[in-house]
Amino acid sequence: MSLLEVKDVSRHFGSLVAVDHVSLAVEPGELRAVIGPNGAGKTTFFNMISGLFPPTAGQILFDGRDVTQLTPAERVAMGMARTFQITEIFPELTVRENLRVPVEIAAGMRLMPWLAPARRETIEARVMELLAMGNLAAKADRLVGELSHGDQRATEIMMALALKPRLLLLDEPTAGMGDQETYDITRLIRKLHRDQRLSIVLIEHDMRVIFHLAERIMVLAEGAVLAEGTPADIAANDKVQAAYLGKAA
């Protein structure tokens, strides 16, 4: 059974058709990339999967359950986590505090009005683990708002991971990054996918990143699926070439 199954979803904004009858199935442990020119509807597609708004038509199944009308928080509780194209973090809190919130939520403590010392240690250990994984340990007590763009992105990804998701949705994780930062984030994503067999769906613009990471690629253009296949298939696809070149020219 697929972990995520998107069946024929569409989304209209007034007369604009942002996403037009798109389907997608993601298997457990798969890393799937979604690419496409600007305005292809990639982020709209993501927003429907994660629950920011419901589709106009179609159905979304997660783990075999219909989640089409569930709230984002309910989807998170089922094991879905996401990052945003424009980093969404808690800028005036430290990196440690940013991570602590999702770690405590994952431990089922979001309504807990106190914290027993024994559990505090478990929480802190988990936060340390995530700090190390994201290469953020040295900056743990800095305010996230003061960090570099790359470190903010890394923090956001670690926050999503802190939730122990089964499906991670990454919306352009390397957007606006320099070469070194792009490389670091790519390596981090690859490690998560390899070591933890985490299922990942990734929107990306940087072709190097995509061909480095993805097993299968879905190409969206003007809201519809243009092509789907392995990186080699996509690279050889004339329609994809045209869509991208047309945009570039």
Least CB distance to another protein at residue 100 (A): 7
Q: Which segment (23-31, 74-82, 183-191, 193-201) binds another protein by CB under 8 A?
A: 74-82
**In angstroms, rounded to a whole number, what is the distance separating the alpha carbons of residues 111 and 194?**
34
Per-residue binder mask for another protein (CB under 8 A), 148-177, x = binder: -----------x---x--------------
Residues between 34 and 53 that touch another protein (CB under 8 A): 50
Q: Which of 28, 72, 229, 231 binds another protein (CB under 8 A)?
A: 72
| Residue 140 contacts another protein per CB under 8 A | no
Scanning the structure block, which residue is given the tokens 């969404």?
88
114 vs 249, which CB is nearer to another protein?
114
CA distances from 85 to 88, 90, 115, 239 (A): 8, 15, 34, 26
Per-residue binder mask for another protein (CB under 8 A), 52-71, x = binder: -------------------x
**In angstroms, rounded to a whole number, what is the distance separating the alpha carbons of residues 198 and 158?**
13
Least CB distance to another protein at residue 38 (A): 22
108 vs 245, which CB is nearer to another protein?
108
| Residue 122 contacts another protein per CB under 8 A | no
**In angstroms, rounded to a whole number, what is the distance separating the alpha carbons of residues 64 and 90?**
33
The phi, psi pair for 205, rounded to 5°, reads: -105, -30
Closest Cα partner for 62 from 132, 118, 7? 7
Q: Which of 13, 16, 110, 230 binds another protein (CB under 8 A)?
A: 110
| Residue 113 contacts another protein per CB under 8 A | yes
Residues 6+ apart with CB under 8 A from 60: 4, 5, 6, 7, 9, 48, 49, 66, 67, 68
Residues between 84 and 103 that touch another protein (CB under 8 A): 84, 88-93, 97, 100-102
DSSP helix/strand/coil, 125: helix
Confirm if 171 and 46 have CB atoms less than 8 A apart: yes
Number of residues that bind another protein (CB under 8 A): 31
Least CB distance to another protein at residue 134 (A): 16
- H/E stretch holding 192 reads helix 179-196
HSE value, Cβ hemisphere, 13 Å, CA-based, for 119: 12
175 vs 225, which CB is nearer to another protein?
175
Helix, strand, coil shares, percent, the chain, to 5: 45, 25, 35
Instruction: Give the binding site for another protein (CB under 8 A).
Output: 50, 71-74, 76-77, 81-82, 84, 88-93, 97, 100-102, 104-105, 109-115, 159, 163
